[in-house]
Structure 1
Amino acid sequence: MKLLLRLVISTLAIIVAANLVPGVVVASTGTAFIVAIVLGILNTFLKPVLQILALPITILTLGLFYFVVNVFIIYLAASLVDGFRVDGFISALFFGLIVSVVSAILGMFLD
């Protein structure tokens, strides 16, 4: 049940971020739901591997390369899901930041 609520929160965060960030298009609520699932899977399995591989660069950039890993995950999700489009690096960066903030705020009510 908690997993389903987290998925709904992520979907709402994706819808909010898509409406706030120019250059990010989510075709429908169903597409946002699928994007939430894909981002969850990518963040669970691929992101830790990328963070370990990018650790030297992340240390050299004082942690800023972590944002590049996030943008890459968002681009990968956009390439996997029809109806989800991200037009640029800055758009993907702000999209990721807004999704994280909105998910954290809504997630506080879950705990």
Structure 2
Amino acid sequence: MGFLIRLLVSALAAMLTAYLLPGVKIDNFITALILALVLAVLNLLVKPILIILTLPATILTLGLFLLVINAIIILLAANLVKGFRVDGFFWALIFSIVMTVINSIMHGLASDN
């Protein structure tokens, strides 16, 4: 049940982030749900591989390169999900930062603690 709630919260966060940013478009809530699921799978499977491959750059930039990895994951998701469009790397980077902040706030509000 927890995974489904996190998926719904992430879809809502993606919709809100797309509403706030002019360079990102999501067609409807079903697309946002699919996007949340695809992002979960990419973060589970692809992101650890990218982190290991780019470890020297991540250490050299004191972890800031992880933002670039997040943007790459967003661009990859944009290629996989029909109805989700990102206008470029800069918008993917901003989308990942804003969505993380909104997602954190919403998870904090939805938690039982």
Normalised-by-shorter TM-score class: over 0.9
1:81 positional shift: 0.5
Which structure has more RCO (C-alpha within 8 Å, separation ≥ 6)? 1
Task: Look up the match of 1:110.
Answer: 111
Contiguous gaps of at least 5 residues in structure 1: none
CA-atom RMSD in angstroms: 0.9
Aligned residues: 111
Distance, in Å, in 2 between the alignment partners of 1:67 and 1:3 is: 24
Distance, in Å, in 2 between the alignment partners of 1:39 and 1:98 is: 15
Distance, in Å, in 2 between the alignment partners of 1:98 and 1:64 is: 16
1:110 positional shift: 2.1
Describe the superposition over 1:57-78 as per-residue Cα deviations: whole angstroms up to 9, x where unpaired: 1111222211110010000000
> What TM-score results when the alignment is normalised by the length of structure 1?
0.95
1:28 positional shift: 0.7
Describe the superposition over 1:32-59 as per-residue Cα deviations: whole angstroms up to 9, x where unpaired: 1100000000001110111111110111
Task: Look up the match of 2:15.
Answer: 15
1:14 positional shift: 0.2
Task: Look up the match of 2:70.
Answer: 70
> What TM-score results when the alignment is normalised by the length of structure 2?
0.94
Contiguous gaps of at least 5 residues in structure 2: none
